[in-house]
Amino acid sequence: MRILVMNPNTTASMTASIRATATAAAAPGTEIIATEPLWGPESIEGHFEGYLSAAAVLDRLATLDLAFDALVMAGFGEPGREGAQELLDVPVLDITESAAQMAMMLGHAYGIVTTLDRAVPQIQDRLLTAGLLQRCAAVRGTGLGVLELEEDAERTVEVIIETARDAVRAGAEVICLGCGGMAGLQEKVAAALGVPVVDGVAAAVKFAEAVVGLGLTTSAGRSFAPPRPKVIGSWPLSAHLSPGRAQGSPRPTEFSAQTSGI
């Protein structure tokens, strides 16, 4: 099967780390393809940037000339997943719900460690909407911006561990890494804490494999029925940009298909 992993921001280095984590988690024979939007914010730290990113992700999906069996959306607590479920006829999973669902299989209560404190209410709202907040003991911000996560890997891990300890003290028995930019750090954090640590990218990939393997996909019976045909002005936006992207924005990562186990 082929799984598309979408980094919701335009930072190519973050797409690369997300791709690596997804590939490491995938079963042999699962092809991981990762990319990011053609335009939009370089990182997402608030509602304004989140909604811009959601539109950019939907634009990217609407113009992709590529077949895939499932989509993993690698933004934690960001909007847009429901739109992708309407747009696509393949399963759509996001790392927020996937991480929480997996954590609840491993302990009575879980905690989330994310980036800035301002992201905490956004994540809590997402969990509440998904029906997953009741067993969340704590959502804690590290104080690190999304782009800061890549500046000093050792310091990033130290801050995540210290923040996660506070979540454990609040009752969390499992920790979820609450940002796609934290992908691949779960083993180091788990070794220091002594409790399971769930990486949302890896969890979403495994859930995607399971859903596809069972021959299931999103229900189109009501909530996520395909969009009704109508005129949408200047959509998709990227078709109106020259040369195919917003002026001054970074060129999107080229698709890099990797097969797990090779």
Q: Is residue 25 part of a domain?
A: yes
Q: Is residue 33 part of a domain?
A: yes
CATH number of the domain where residue 69 is located: 3.40.50.12500
Query: Are 14 and 150 spatial neighbours (Cβ–Cβ below 8 Å)?
Result: yes
Q: DSSP string spanning 42-76?
A: SS--SHHHHHHHHHHHHHHHHH-----SEEEE--S
- Tally of domains in the chain: 1
Predicted confidence at residue 243, as pLDDT, reads 57
Q: Is the pTM of this model over 0.75?
A: yes
In 3-state terms, what secondary structure has residue 192? helix
Q: Is residue 243 part of a domain?
A: no
In 3-state terms, what secondary structure has residue 179? coil
- Each of the 262 residues of the chain gets a pLDDT tens digit; together they read 999 999 999 999 999 999 999 999 999 999 999 999 999 999 999 999 999 999 999 999 999 999 999 999 999 998 899 999 999 999 999 999 999 999 999 999 999 999 999 999 999 999 999 999 999 999 999 999 999 999 999 999 999 999 999 999 999 999 999 999 999 999 999 999 999 999 999 999 999 999 999 999 999 999 999 999 999 999 999 888 865 454 434 445 544 444 333 2
Q: Is residue 127 part of a domain?
A: yes
Q: Can you state the angle between helices 95-104 and 200-213, rounded to 10 degrees? A: 90
Range of the domain at 64: 2-214
Predicted confidence at residue 256, as pLDDT, reads 43
At 194, the amino acid letter reads: G
Predicted confidence at residue 242, as pLDDT, reads 61
Q: Tell me, rounded to whole angstroms, the distance of Cα 81 from its chain centroid.
A: 10
Predicted confidence at residue 116, as pLDDT, reads 96
Q: Is residue 123 part of a domain?
A: yes
Q: Can you state the angle between helices 95-104 and 119-130, rounded to 10 degrees? A: 70
∠ CA 178-201-246, nearest 5°, is 85
Q: Is residue 112 part of a domain?
A: yes
Give the separation between CA 124 and CA 18, rounded to whole angstroms: 23
∠ CA 98-101-107, nearest 5°, is 135
* Structural element, H or E, at residue 104: helix 95-104
Q: Is residue 250 part of a domain?
A: no
Predicted confidence at residue 2, as pLDDT, reads 98
Q: Is residue 78 part of a domain?
A: yes
